[in-house]
Amino acid sequence: MKLIELSNYTLPPTGTGNGLKKFYFALSKGDMCHIQADSPDDAHLFLRAVAMLEYSKFCDYRFAGKKINFSDHTNLLPYKKKMGYVTNDAAMISNMSIRENLLLMRYYFENSFSVDIDDNVKNLCNVFEIYDKLDVRPGDLRPTELRSAIMVREFTKSPEILLLERPEDFARQTKFNFIVELVKKMSLSGVPVIFISYNADFIREFSNKEIIIAKGNLTTVKT
């Protein structure tokens, strides 16, 4: 059973990329896809397409066999919620503290401000050394700390699909092993991961499928 299926996708170029020409892509549980593209903008565009942040008029997106209706953005929200989006353009909401950012989904869906971060999140915050900065605004954090906070938020939302862009940039060199451990845990639990990475060890360890984007043409190869 395919978890997601994208077909008839054609996306215009962004930045220095070529865009994506009509392609088909399917992702099943346990897939660990590494993206190799001649332009980083195309690879990023593909991640945005999987995250439903980019779509075209005639595209066809199926999530667990169910066709997604793009006519209303609220139809996409339940599916977007199921995706961990750890990319260069993932952000924190600047007028909320880090704690509030980490708790945003719980505040909203549990409809209460009395919830607090659970032990798992606390542990990860400790590991990435952001625990003492939970009550400051994102603007007061160093870029690496901010990326770590984004990663903690996305990993702890129990995603069904994980989209990773250069995970090696999301923590200090000494903490990269923890990211590897987290991704390993995800892969063992069958969560499919699509990632862009320039770390050869990371690619070797996780990749079981290769997505090749050359001049806007997307092909998938099993490795």
Partner 1 sequence: MNQTAGYIGRRTLKSFKHILDLFAFNYRIFKLIFKRQKTGRVLIRRVILEQVYFTAVQALPLIIPVALILGSMLIIQFSRVSNQYDIGKTMVLLIIRELGPGITALLVILRSATSIAIETGYMKVFHEIDTIEMAGIDPIRMICLPRLIGITTAIICLFIIFDLVSILGGYTIIWIFTYINLGDFLGQMGKAIIPTDIIVGMVKALCFGIIITVTCLYRGFNVKKNITGLPLATSKAAIECFFYCLIINVVISIVFYM
Binding residues for partner 1 (CB under 8 A): 51, 53, 73-74, 76-78, 80-81, 83, 85, 89-95, 104-105, 107-109, 111-113, 157
Write down the least CB distance from residue 130 to partner 1, Å: 17
Of 105 and 221, the one with the shorter C-beta distance to partner 1 is 105
Neighbours of 152 (CB within 10 A): 27
HSE of 24, CA atoms in CB hemisphere, 13 A: 1
Query: CA–CA separation, 98 vs 121, rounded Å?
Result: 12
HSE of 93, CA atoms in CB hemisphere, 13 A: 11
Of 91 and 214, the one with the shorter C-beta distance to partner 1 is 91
Write out the E strands in the chain: 2-11, 20-28, 32-37, 60-63, 66-67, 83-86, 161-165, 193-196, 209-214, 217-222
Of 64 and 105, the one with the shorter C-beta distance to partner 1 is 105
Of 16 and 74, the one with the shorter C-beta distance to partner 1 is 74
Write down the least CB distance from residue 210 to partner 1, Å: 26
3-state SS string over 124-153?
A: HHHHCCCHHHCCCCHHHCCHHHHHHHHHHH
Query: CA–CA separation, 223 vs 217, rounded Å?
Result: 19
Write down the least CB distance from residue 100 to partner 1, Å: 10
Query: CA–CA separation, 30 vs 154, rounded Å?
Result: 19
Write down the least CB distance from residue 95 to partner 1, Å: 8
Of 52 and 209, the one with the shorter C-beta distance to partner 1 is 52
Write down the least CB distance from residue 214 to partner 1, Å: 25
